[in-house]
Amino acid sequence: MSGPRFSLLIRGADLADGTGAPLTAGQVGVTGGRLRVLPPDAPVRADRVLDLPGCVVAPGFIDAHTHSDLTTLDGTGDAAAHGAVLQGVTVEICGNCGSSAFPAPYPDFGAFARAHAEGGRANHLASLVGHGTLRGSVVGHDARAATAGELAAMCEVLDRALADGAAGLSTGLIYTPGSYADTAEVTALAAVAAAHRKPYVTHLRDEMSGVEAALEEAVRIARDSGAPLHVSHHKTAGRDGWGGTERTLPRLHALRAEGMDVTCDVYPYTAGSTGLAAMLPPWAHDGGPRRLLERLRDAGQRERMRAAIADGVPGWENTVGNGGWDRISVAGAARHPELQGRTVADIASARGADAIDVVAELLLAEEGDVTIISHSMREDDVRRVLAAPFAMIGSDGVPKPGLPHPRWAGTFARVLGHYGRELGLLALPEAVHKMTGATAARFGLTGRGVLRDGGHADLVVFDPAVIADRATFTEPLLAPSGVRLVAVAGEVVVEDGETTSARPGRVIPC
């Protein structure tokens, strides 16, 4: 037989090339960690041939938004670490919501990359620079403006990280210490990202009743800095925010029509996840985690927190005030596993205690490390964002012990199965584009996200008739059905729902 020889050949399946184009017939060959796309009848030799009729070959999925920066380094364990790759995710983009693993605990992007190379990964990782981490390392955790010198120092550290390969700048403007920054500070930092032609990626200052004003702040930052704008996990949450996508999405459409480079990502669930401490007002965090715990020990400070949630604080999102403690469940509390899966309201009722006292005692017992699930969104808003042509898919996965949000293990299969095949919200090529080519283009992942000759051999093969998420809030790490094979850098890392021993992943520069 004449023709090239490959280490792996996949034939018989349809090809979803990542551009949104219709499915085509063809063969995909892998050699030297690179791709070759061939006609279905081309003569080919290969060390391993997989005949997969009825399946779809796509570029490896790219998760636009994760919090998996340290997952393979912190002893979380394989079950949590592999939640993404078992869905077909070959690149995770971390460093989101203003929190990255450099300049702390790792001093720079290079040290972060080396740590992952030494530890071994099944898939690749790219990282943004978190503004909150950056601010904390330079300014500290006090509720004050940065001085001119401190801002210059932050810009210098950011510039170096972006030059080294970080994907852009992220903010989490509901989280301290990032929330202590004004618009001018963020704009100055976004200008550094713009100089590197990298995006400003933002968890808006408010995703609830103040979402429209928060979106306009992000637009001003992008316009004044010149940076492309990417809105993280776009949502309009809480009772006062429900239905808000009927206004925010037309605004984003209009901005794009005017020529602004603006996109967003979204996860396919009506619940979010974050830290329990984030449910407390910003002033409670002034001075950092140690000062927060001191305040939680003080009955008078607890009363202030209780009043702040009941009455609101200007400029604060106030998740509980917009929903209630009955919508907040404990996801991770290492020393209190019996509380995982229960709402704060239920725990308080069972104890005959006030919710703030329960929260305070739990945070103190866990030294502040408690994650939660927040059931704060409405299905129609989720569907609108999923369908927006400029929206890409990001899990916002928080792979921590306990009962993490099922989005970490279910997002991509859920989009393809539930929202695509079952509800018809997205055609398969469009859904794949939102998971691949669109995300690669936004974050500068050259040679990824499309099936193209010479591209990186990051692939997923799935059965479109059966692919479905199985992860639930009670069993959050169940792998999806229908994922037949995942390859990273040309090596098979998942086959028929099981991970292999291959660890070809690395931190990739953007």
- pLDDT tens for 197-230 read 999 999 999 999 999 999 999 999 999 999 999 9
Confidence check: pLDDT of 110 > 90: yes
pLDDT above 70 as % of the chain: 99
Confidence check: pLDDT of 293 > 80: yes
Mean pLDDT along residues 19-38: 97
CATH number, residue 117? 3.20.20.140
Strands 483-488 and 262-266 come out as unpaired
Q: Is residue 234 domain-shared with residue 333, that is, in the same domain?
A: no
Asked whether residue 144 is domain-assigned, the answer is: yes
Q: What confidence tens digit (pLDDT) does each residue in 229-257 have?
A: 999 999 999 999 999 999 999 999 999 99
Q: Is residue 113 domain-shared with residue 183, that is, in the same domain?
A: yes
HEC secondary structure over 96-136: CCCCCCCCCCCCCHHHHHHHHHHHCECCEEEECEEHHHHHH
Mean pLDDT of the chain: 96
Confidence check: pLDDT of 279 > 60: yes
In angstroms, the CA 483 to CA 489 distance is 18
Asked whether residue 470 is domain-assigned, the answer is: no
Q: What confidence tens digit (pLDDT) does each residue in 134-184 have?
A: 999 999 999 999 999 999 999 999 999 999 999 999 999 999 999 999 999
In angstroms, the CA 181 to CA 154 distance is 12
Asked whether residue 108 is domain-assigned, the answer is: yes
The DSSP result for 338-384, as a single string, is GGTT-BHHHHHHHHT--HHHHHHHHHHHTTT--EEEEE---HHHHHH
Confidence check: pLDDT of 280 > 90: yes
For residue 76, what pLDDT is reported? 74
Q: Is residue 209 domain-shared with residue 320, that is, in the same domain?
A: no
Asked whether residue 143 is domain-assigned, the answer is: yes
By the 10 Å C-beta count (0-12 exposed, 13-18 middle, 19+ buried), 199 is classed as buried
Model confidence at 4, pLDDT cuts 50, 70, 90, reads confident
Mean pLDDT along residues 67-74: 92
Q: Is residue 383 domain-shared with residue 365, that is, in the same domain?
A: no
Q: Is residue 432 domain-shared with residue 300, that is, in the same domain?
A: no
In angstroms, the CA 399 to CA 83 distance is 8
Q: Is residue 94 domain-shared with residue 130, that is, in the same domain?
A: yes
Q: Is residue 152 domain-shared with residue 212, that is, in the same domain?
A: yes
Strands 89-94 and 14-15 come out as unpaired
Q: Is residue 423 domain-shared with residue 330, that is, in the same domain?
A: no
Q: What confidence tens digit (pLDDT) does each residue in 441-490 have?
A: 999 999 999 999 999 999 999 999 999 999 999 999 999 999 999 999 99
Confidence check: pLDDT of 3 > 80: no
Backbone torsions φ then ψ of 468, nearest 5 degrees: -160, 150
Asked whether residue 261 is domain-assigned, the answer is: yes
Model confidence at 1, pLDDT cuts 50, 70, 90, reads very low
The answer to whether the CB of 452 falls within 8 A of the CB of 58 is no
Asked whether residue 35 is domain-assigned, the answer is: no
Confidence check: pLDDT of 364 > 90: yes
Mean pLDDT along residues 384-397: 98
Q: Is residue 344 domain-shared with residue 228, that is, in the same domain?
A: no
Asked whether residue 235 is domain-assigned, the answer is: yes
Asked whether residue 435 is domain-assigned, the answer is: yes
What is the span of the domain harbouring residue 284? 279-370
Model confidence at 5, pLDDT cuts 50, 70, 90, reads confident
The answer to whether the CB of 316 falls within 8 A of the CB of 297 is no
For residue 412, what pLDDT is reported? 98
Q: Is residue 344 domain-shared with residue 384, that is, in the same domain?
A: no
Preceding peptide of 268 cis, ω within 30°: no
The reported pTM is 0.97
Domain count within the chain? 2
Q: Is residue 343 domain-shared with residue 432, that is, in the same domain?
A: no
Q: Is residue 110 domain-shared with residue 249, that is, in the same domain?
A: yes
For residue 2, what pLDDT is reported? 56
